[in-house]
Structure 1
């Protein structure tokens, strides 16, 4: 007779009731916590959405309606964006003024050239430039 005794326990299933209860509780907690997380996320991102809408609606020369709500960082971003919009507006205004001045300054020489060309004989005016 063999002096050794072995005890064998039956094979347990892969998923036990403990697993079901634990995973079910975790799932319920996840769903329960995701609702306030979603609400908080929407509250945080709403000022950024308003700033993005203001950026898309921005036009040169018109005032920018940057939102002044949200966290300190978002308010600072809105102020910086508004300042940038103003700087770009001043740049465009300066460029337009410069182009108007250049066009005005070129008006006289171009008029003189046109007057000179009109005074040329017909054969010289009909001839095309072969500059290329």
Structure 2
């Protein structure tokens, strides 16, 4: 995936960004540009969002969310959990640092993670989910 660097930005409100990633010990080296072609719920993807990877293409994507953008949908077929978004990004500039080892505060994540937390923990064993 490639990211267009010449577009205009959107305003980003960081909200819980400073408390959702409690400890970032390792990210995917160099980060990744997210494939946001089917992510139409919001122009901003908040820190703490679950990132998935399409197995056939290798593309990284934000985990799909429900219409109200309050909870995650089911993991799409042909995708795996890849990590957690470290810092808030816009869909116009989806250049993402993706944490693969560290600690996340699940109470501060932008979406209700409860329905997928068990599966995410199993897929990402080097990330601890611990509330304050």
TM-score (normalizing by structure 2): 0.16
Higher relative contact order (CA 8 A, sep 6+): 2
TM-score (normalizing by structure 1): 0.16
Structure number having the greater helix percentage = 1
Larger Cα Rg: Structure 1 or Structure 2?
Answer: 1
